[in-house]
Structure 1
């Protein structure tokens, strides 16, 4: 089982890897820049190489870089969509210093244009930024369906993937809180949810899991994460996600409302629940 949490990138790549090890983790997620947007820090190739050595030494699963929340590839305003295009291009160029890992982003909100228009715009942006040479897999995240979010259903994600020319460079990140809030009952029918995912998208596309509890009931479309075991999903259901045969070897990333020490306790509790030692 590969499990980690979201870490601050302020100390650099190697520091994040070392912090993950101190937490009992063997993967992690980080923002490529301020989550509300802005310029990214200049890359340090030596720091990236040091992280790659540490990951190989400690058998890390792939790590996940997360795009800023302000990235909206299906925005109605041209300047917002231009920011999404530029940010994706810049971030994917930076990820080449860490080849073989994942880049995750929220598909975006169509802000009244309609889901179909949003799907077309997202795919158009991806078709501009993806290259045959890149070594990073880009992940569409499953969304809770609040407001005009695209990605509230497996069908919407599949519609985006169907329009991407270099589809082999694409995958999906399943967020347990988001799919639960979107109406997929992973508490009482995890097998059924994964069977639907496989039928509609294909489990081979599932490359990472955001492991979060939810402060709201199934189908609420709220997207409010809870600490592990303190929400409506619960420890037992999240443990079933961790141990499901179809999900083995995936990186599981915590995005719960905890500090580093809290995430370390959650990682320890999850490992204990599945019979693993730190």
Structure 2
């Protein structure tokens, strides 16, 4: 069975998020560790965590993907921005030990004019400062669309960061279909070739999660505008191939498509489960 879910709010607590996941036939979910534009993380409520664990046990939810706020930029030319990123990353990873052996996803950062090599080095330095041997969380670098001075629009850039991290065994990648498409990797028509390039550059063993998003833009646009599955330039057939691909089908997959309600996610999850069952 696919490990499939979507991004859910934890504003009403983790137990409520797990109930939402079960309602839409999801057996995993993604959440922001704090406001995606920054700010303090909400306090963890032991009673909520107890109810959350009960909901997960009842719904077969074993995997979660925590997502760092978008404002984190450990590669910035501004030292205050870099300091904020390190402080937040360190605090998030410490809190993640309430949910041991889970996944933490982050956008690598933007070099803000310093150059890719400098950005790669700064990101690795930040991770080396905040990651601890006693942590059980796997940190994932998300593939990016390559807009502006983003680092991570090419597989080589992700590999370069991981190679510089001391605790490399705790590092992985989350492949976002919209982002790689916008970065110029044609996952619609040449999925095997893209995965072969990823394997040569980063290693398929590093691929630990997927973001399933269609794109409003043609391949190589470098813009990052998500679309609902089948309503963008990638097309639903590509997602049917992804969920059935032997190198991908056992990975946790998360929808970040624009929806008006959870019902939209429920529809997409049902469609993906249907094509996976047929294959």
TM-score bucket of the superposed structures, by smaller chain: over 0.9
Q: Tell me which residue corresponds to 2:250.
A: 249
Unaligned runs of 5+ in 1: none
Q: Does the 8 Å contact 2:242/2:249 carry over to 1? A: no
Q: TM-score scaled by structure 2?
A: 0.96
Q: Is residue 103 of structure 2 the alignment partner of residue 79 of structure 1?
A: no
Q: Is residue 12 of structure 2 the alignment partner of residue 7 of structure 1?
A: no
Q: Tell me which residue corresponds to 1:273.
A: 275
**For each residue in 1:122-181, what CA deviation from the matched residue of structure 2 results, as whole angstroms up to 9, or x when unmatched?**
000000000110011110000000000000010000000000000111110000000011
Q: TM-score scaled by structure 1?
A: 0.97
Unaligned runs of 5+ in 2: none
Moved over 3 A (4+): none
SS in 1 for 2:105: strand
User: In 2, distance between residues paired with 1:198 and 1:46?
Assistant: 43
User: In 1, distance between residues paired with 2:200 and 2:168?
Assistant: 17
User: In 2, distance between residues paired with 1:207 and 1:56?
Assistant: 22
**For each residue in 1:196-233, what CA deviation from the matched residue of structure 2 results, as whole angstroms up to 9, or x when unmatched?**
11111111111100000000011111100001110001
How far residue 61 of structure 1 moved from its aligned partner, in angstroms, is 4.4
Q: Does the 8 Å contact 1:33/1:40 carry over to 2? A: yes
| CA root-mean-square deviation | 1.1
**For each residue in 1:35-86, what CA deviation from the matched residue of structure 2 results, as whole angstroms up to 9, or x when unmatched?**
0000110112332343234324433241101000000010111111111001
Q: Tell me which residue corresponds to 1:127.
A: 128
Q: Does the 8 Å contact 1:48/1:98 carry over to 2? A: no
Q: Tell me which residue corresponds to 2:140.
A: 139
Q: Is residue 26 of structure 2 the alignment partner of residue 17 of structure 1?
A: no
User: In 2, distance between residues paired with 1:45 and 1:250?
Assistant: 29
User: In 2, distance between residues paired with 1:74 and 1:94?
Assistant: 23
Q: Tell me which residue corresponds to 1:106.
A: 107
Q: Does the 8 Å contact 1:61/1:250 carry over to 2? A: no
